[in-house]
């Protein structure tokens, strides 16, 4: 059975010292489980602190919230896949809605990042999702399919290495959450898109993100189409994150 992924996106929270303090609280109370993995996406300055603290625990991975596709050069403020690997990162968020809508990342740039991450033998987590106006216009699947174009053309084996995170933009940090059934419908459409391009249905892993918290995580994960959660605000506090990571799985 494929393990469920519990991914924490700390966004611009928790510097190196705060990261160590968080993990000092979380790790002693969280035992490895065969049915789940925990992934942390701290700010870039905290990747090494997190990776060092996690050590050799195989059930926990540390990654980056963003990456640049060039290996080096005059790109002030960016980090390459080589830098992320050197800091201990093994997974990378790509195309998060804040990168798209706050910083203007294009679909073409997202595609370049996916391929750079894969070329470095790391795992990309491709984020897709619609804004409220797009949802109200009935364009959810059109938007998601367009954003999935970042992995168009990958051969089946490579496609199966990509994790997809469906995050409806209107639900991120707003307290609003897609119903489990709504989320599962979009997940099913994503899985269908991926399998139509050669991926095995059982190999496609799709996370849900958008105001996930202790009170709704179990209900969301009860949906067969949802393979894990990508959590923002509720992942920054050790107590709420521990509760989410410990929810029963069917």
Instruction: Tell me the catalytic residues.
Output: 96, 167
Can you spell out the DSSP letters for 21-67? HHHHHHGGG----TTEEEEEE--GGGHHHHHHHHTT-TTEEEEES--
Query: What burial letters (b/e) apply to 132-160, b meaning 16+ CB within 10 Å?
Result: eebbeeeebeebbeebbebbeebeeeebb
Alpha-helical (H) ranges within the chain are 16-26, 47-54, 81-87, 97-101, 107-119, 132-136, 140-148, 156-159, 180-195, 217-221, 238-245
């Amino acid at each position: 059975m494929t393990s469920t992924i519990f991914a924490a996106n700390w966004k611009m929270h928790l510097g190196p010292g705060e990261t160590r303090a968080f993990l000092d609280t979380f790790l002693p109370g969280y035992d490895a489980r065969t049915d789940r993995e925990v992934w942390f996406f701290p700010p870039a300055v905290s990747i090494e602190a997190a990776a060092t603290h996690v050590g050799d625990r195989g059930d926990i991975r540390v990654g980056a919230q963003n990456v640049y596709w060039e290996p080096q050069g005059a790109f002030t403020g960016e980090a390459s896949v080589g830098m992320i690997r050197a800091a201990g990162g093994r997974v990378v968020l790509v195309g998060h809605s804040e990168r798209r809508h706050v910083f203007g990342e294009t679909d073409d740039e997202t595609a370049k990042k996916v391929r750079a991450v894969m070329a470095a033998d790391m795992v990309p987590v491709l984020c897709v999702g619609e804004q409220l106006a797009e949802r109200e216009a009935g364009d959810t699947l059109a938007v998601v399919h367009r954003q999935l174009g970042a992995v168009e053309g990958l051969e089946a084996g490579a496609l199966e290495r990509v994790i997809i995170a469906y995050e409806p933009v209107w639900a991120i940090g707003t307290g609003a959450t897609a119903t489990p059934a709504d989320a599962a419908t979009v997940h099913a459409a994503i899985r269908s898109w991926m399998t139509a391009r050669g991926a095995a249905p059982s190999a496609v892993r799709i996370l849900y993100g958008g105001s996930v918290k202790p009170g709704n995580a179990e209900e969301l994960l009860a949906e067969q189409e949802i393979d894990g959660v990508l959590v923002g605000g509720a992942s920054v506090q050790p107590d709420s994150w521990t509760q989410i990571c410990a929810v029963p799985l069917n």
